[in-house]
Copies of this chain bind each other. A is one copy, B any other.
């Protein structure tokens, strides 16, 4: 069982993670690209290390990369000769997983790597904005491949559940990145296209004057730094491209249906009805989830079960479990976990 954690990068995500782990009794070592946060971090029980190489050489059992994605190649190049892969398992918190694994493998560290992506964050940044509570209720996606050693996965997963008190799902990189494109990267592109549509209109000031909640909510993410959005989409570009083509096809098909729905073409009327009913299972899911949040603690226990993880096919078994809306909440021993069932779509 892991007891020492190394953190690379004391920004909002890494700083909050370091503080939460320290508060929960882990030995936490950290390095940051500037020593600015060290004084405050030390007061939170975080051992700050002067060099990145020094952090790796301190041989933490788990070393978590919380640096920006664009710094990943240079950081991995510096870590590679300093890490002892027999002792240290490498992980990260990046929002895309395929690209990170590729970079880790290119640095020769693929054998000791388990990917991770916590669903946590806010609009702030930097250690001064960090807060152990940022991870309250956070779900983590753990990404593995066929070569991932089970013991390394279990170390990371147990740290997240039993250690940090969070829940997790297990995915492969491709599934993670497709899902992230669907619920975040593609929508960011759509929101951007929508404000571009407004700005291209000669009546943009009138439209903006009439705008209410629907417009505000649907364009909010287009107002954040466009360079950050551009980088995020670029890192997951293949999935975003596929989804944008699919969305464009949906919008065109619906436009055709609107054009042909003249009371004569019954097909168009049926297609329009289908357009408005196709997402009903998501509406039901949201209503169920909202109701679920109102149930008392005791009731939610009803959706808990245990699972004995099959050592021969754990990757596919846990991916299938995630697809069924299940989350791992706790390790009971090395192979036995508790599972919480969510409403499904």
Contact = CB atoms under 8 A, between A and B. Distances in A.
* Copies assembled: 2
A205 interface: yes
Size category of the binding interface on chain A: 35 or more
Contacts of A197: 182, 186, 243, 246-247, 250
Interface of A is mostly: helix
Contacts of A323: 202-203, 205-206
Contacts of A229: 276
Contact of A251 (B195, B201, B213, B248): B248
Interface string A280-324: 111101100000000000000000000000000000000000111
18 contacts: A179-B206, A187-B215, A191-B218, A192-B276, A192-B279, A196-B275, A199-B281, A205-B322, A205-B323, A208-B282, A208-B285, A209-B325, A226-B276, A233-B258, A234-B258, A241-B258, A245-B255, A248-B249
Given A187-B194, A190-B190, A199-B282, 19 more contacts: A119-B210, A141-B210, A182-B207, A184-B212, A188-B214, A193-B250, A193-B254, A195-B283, A198-B279, A202-B323, A208-B285, A208-B345, A218-B218, A218-B221, A219-B282, A229-B276, A248-B248, A248-B249, A248-B252
Q: Across chains A and B, which 7 residue pairs bring their CB atoms closest together, nearest first?
A: A195-B279, A226-B276, A248-B248, A244-B255, A179-B207, A183-B215, A217-B217
